[in-house]
Amino acid sequence: MKIFNYLLTIFTALFLYSCVDNDPVIEELPNPDIAFNYSVIDAEYQIDYYVGANIEFVSTSVAAGQCTWDFGDGTLATGETVTHKYKKAGTYTVKLTIADAGYQSKPILISDIKPIVSPNKTGLIEVISTSVGFNVELPNPEKLTEEYHWIFPEGTLDAAGKPIATFDGKDPGNVTFSNVGSQVVTLQVKLGGRQLEDGVIKVPVAYNLAVPTLYYAVKGGNIMALKLANNPPSGMKINPFDMGTKSGQHPLNILFNDTSLYVLDCGRQFTYVDDKDGNLGDGRIIVMSKDGAKVETMMTNTGAAFNDPYYGYIEGGQLYFSDRNTGLSTIGLKERNKTLNRTDYPYYVQNATLGYYGQGLSYGAMNACFGKINGVWYWCKTYNGNGIFRFTDADILKIAITGNGVLPTSGIALESMTPKSFVWDAKNSLVYFTLYDTGYEGLYRCTLAQLNEIGSNKEKLVPYRLKLANGKTVTPVTETGKGEGSTGEFIAICQLALDENDGCVYFGLRSGDAAVKSGLMRYNPASGFIEYVIEGVDVYGVAVNKTKSKLF
């Protein structure tokens, strides 16, 4: 009997459940018959949605009924036309609901108030001699009290010629700058007692003489420009200009030509990665005007990671660029917004289209800097065939080989060594190059005849090794985990750049010697030593605009 009652209970429960209305709840959707617009109705800043601005919301709905507004910040209002002020910056969702008809919603972006600072002078602002004042635009729709506090960089002088570090008030008057480069002026403002985001302006202060310009790519930062003033007046600092353009992820080479800077960024995956699907490429080449005002994309890679642009060379209206370890390709200097593919941009030369293949070069020989000297290609290789492999255009084979080719007559320089970068000083017939070989790391300078004489004998390198004034050499970091990359692809000195005007050679050093700081450096033939230009900065590519100017 107990079992019967138990089964009866279950049956009854199932029957009752089956009689319940289980139709799904229909989701409430926006009604197209409900619509609204909004706009700022203050006398000033009518197109700007700032904190504190009076914003009018107007229902333009077909549906009729009581209008209820939810402004997304916890406040409500009723009526066909309402006004509202937002107290904090952010993106809000405004919802209009009409009784018995439904709702409609829209996003609104509210910007915080920030002082906008600009110089009151157009044209060249020259160190020491040019005075400049500042225009300030401060949206203040609620007419709140305003408090201004200016902070000036070192070496700023007021209208009376006295040093000025700070100033309280809206107008500090005209000032002059005693140092070259991007001079950062900061304006701090309190509005109704509330501290706003700082207004910052970087004033480009020119040198008072026409000199060349050095561009360099900062790791994790921007492209910078530095006036190459060798003998500035006592007390004057030559600071860099921040060009406002990101350096990229791994801009191993930058090249200056005519009036533009070409930045070759090999992307995030510059070292080995198992890219079996061939879609990890993210490198690109960008073109920046010499003053930084215009930045364009020349080429983007979206295919294999190892096809990203690593190193480059410009000649005859063409940019030659290498991938990680296979070959060199070309693109016209005027081309823009292109996507890298081997149909449109085939290899100009590959490892396997030279007689060196199987006789010095092996599969996947790692690329480094390359270029021409006296019509002969110099191609640095740092793994699976080390040295500078030299050849002419006539040596390039039309069909790839696997060995037994004819060796180019130019031959291999620094055979079995790891030359990462080089630059040719045609005026003085000298070649500069860097090596990573343990015990022989550093920067070298010699003639082409001396380069040939070195051959594969590292002991013959010693007379040509360049040093700092304290007798130290520059030792690029080559320890995995302390630098970037691994065997054959360390990038602690990834490019050399020559100033043809005075023969100085510039480079970025990621130092492997605790006694030598990393930084932007140069070899100065006038002093005969390697010198610091800027200590403590991590630099990738470097390039010189040899045309002299006060600014750019």
Q: Output the CA angle 100-102-103, nearest 5 degrees.
A: 140
**Is there a contact between 331 and 321 (Cβ–Cβ < 8 Å)?**
yes
Within 10 angstroms of residue 351's Cβ, the number of other Cβ atoms is 25
Query: Which residues contact residue 185 at a Cβ distance below 8 angstroms, ignoring those fewer than 6 apart?
Result: 117, 134, 150, 151, 152, 153, 200, 201, 202, 203
Residue 512 CB neighbour total at 10 angstroms: 19
Pairing of strands 199-206, 125-126: parallel
Measured distance CA(266)–CA(310) in Å, rounded: 5
CA-to-CA distance for 108 and 111, rounded, in angstroms? 10
The two beta strands, 90-98 and 156-157, are unpaired
Let me know: does 172 contact 145? Beta carbons within 8 Å: no
Sign of the C-alpha dihedral computed for residues 530, 532, 533 and 536 taken in this order: positive
Q: What is the pLDDT of residue 28?
A: 60
Q: What pLDDT was estimated at residue 480?
A: 82
Query: Which residue type is seen at 63?
Result: A
Q: Among 31, 464, 484, which Cα is nearest to 269's?
A: 484
- Which CATH topology does 36-110 take? Immunoglobulin-like (2.60.40)
Residue pair 435/420 in contact (Cβ under 8 Å)? The answer is: yes
Of 123, 139, 194, 138, whose CA–CA distance to 170 is shortest?
138
Give the per-residue pLDDT at 8. Answer: 43
Which positions ≥6 away from 259 have C-beta within 8 Å?
289, 290
Cβ contacts of 105 within 8 Å, gap of 6 or more: 30, 93, 94, 95, 96
DSSP 316: T
Q: From first to last of the 552 residues of the chain, give the pLDDT tens digit.
A: 444 444 444 444 444 444 444 444 434 678 999 999 999 999 887 778 999 999 999 999 999 999 999 999 999 999 999 999 999 999 999 999 999 899 999 999 999 999 999 999 999 999 999 999 999 999 998 999 999 999 999 999 999 999 999 999 999 999 999 999 999 999 999 999 999 999 999 999 999 999 999 999 999 999 999 999 989 999 999 999 999 999 999 999 999 999 999 999 999 999 999 999 999 999 999 999 999 999 999 999 999 999 999 999 999 999 999 999 999 999 999 999 999 999 999 999 999 999 999 999 999 999 999 999 999 999 999 999 999 999 999 999 999 999 999 999 999 999 999 999 999 999 999 999 999 999 999 999 999 999 999 999 999 999 999 999 999 999 999 988 888 888 889 999 999 999 999 999 999 999 999 999 999 999 999 999 999 999 999 999 999 999 999 999
In the structure encoding, which two tokens stand for residue 27, read together? 């989701």
pTM beyond 0.95, yes or no: no
User: How many other CB atoms sit within 10 Å of the CB of residue 5?
Assistant: 8
The helix (run of H) or strand (run of E) holding residue 292 is none
- List the chain domain ranges: 36-110, 116-205, 211-549
The pLDDT value given to residue 182? 97
Main-chain dihedrals φ then ψ at residue 73, nearest 5 degrees: -115, 20
The CB-side HSE value for 482 (13 A sphere, CA atoms) comes to 10
Nearest to 420 by CA among 510, 325, 488, 519: 488
Tell me the three state secondary structure of residue 25.
Answer: coil
pLDDT of residue 529: 98
Which residue, 268, 276, 274, 336, is CA-closest to 308?
A: 268
Strands (DSSP E) along 351-477, which ranges? 367-373, 376-382, 386-391, 412-413, 419-425, 430-435, 442-446
C-beta of residue 311 within 8 angstroms of C-beta of residue 367: yes
Tokens 């030509």 locate to: 257
User: 235-244 burial, b if ≥16 CB within 10 A, otherwise e?
Assistant: ebebbbbbbe
Name the E strands within 111-162. Answer: 116-119, 125-126, 134-137, 146-151, 156-157
Which distant-in-sequence residues (6+ apart) come within 8 Å of 10 by Cβ? none
- Report the alpha-carbon distance of residue 322 to residue 329 in Å, rounded: 6
Q: Which two tokens stand for residue 22?
A: 């289980």
Which among 457, 451, 437, 436 has a CA at the least distance from the CA of 509?
436
Q: Which residues contact 73 (CB under 8 A, 6 or more apart)?
A: 86, 87, 88, 92
CATH code that applies to domain 211-549: 2.120.10.30
Q: Do residues 458 and 416 lie in contact, with contact meaning Cβ atoms separated by under 8 Å?
A: no
Burial class (CB in 10 A: 0-12, 13-18, 19+), 1: exposed
Nearest one of 290, 233, 236, 239 to 260, comparing CA atoms: 290
**pLDDT confidence of residue 2:** 41
pLDDT the model gives residue 345: 97
pLDDT at residue 354, as a whole number: 98
Residue 338, beta-bridge partner list: 299
Q: Are 59 and 81 in contact (CB under 8 A)?
A: yes
Beta-carbon neighbour count of residue 402 at 10 Å?
9
Of the candidate CATH numbers 3.20.20.70, 1.20.1090.10, 2.60.40.2410, 3.40.50.300, the domain formed by 116-205 belongs to 2.60.40.2410
- The reply to whether 116-205 shares the fold of 36-110 is yes
Q: Tell me the HSE value of 490 on the side-chain side, using a 13 A CA sphere.
A: 24
**How large is the C-alpha radius of gyration of the chain?**
33
CA distance 498 to 195: 48
Residue with tokens 């609104």: 108
Nearest-angstrom CA–CA distance, 361 and 358: 6
**Cβ(548)–Cβ(212) below 8 Å:** yes
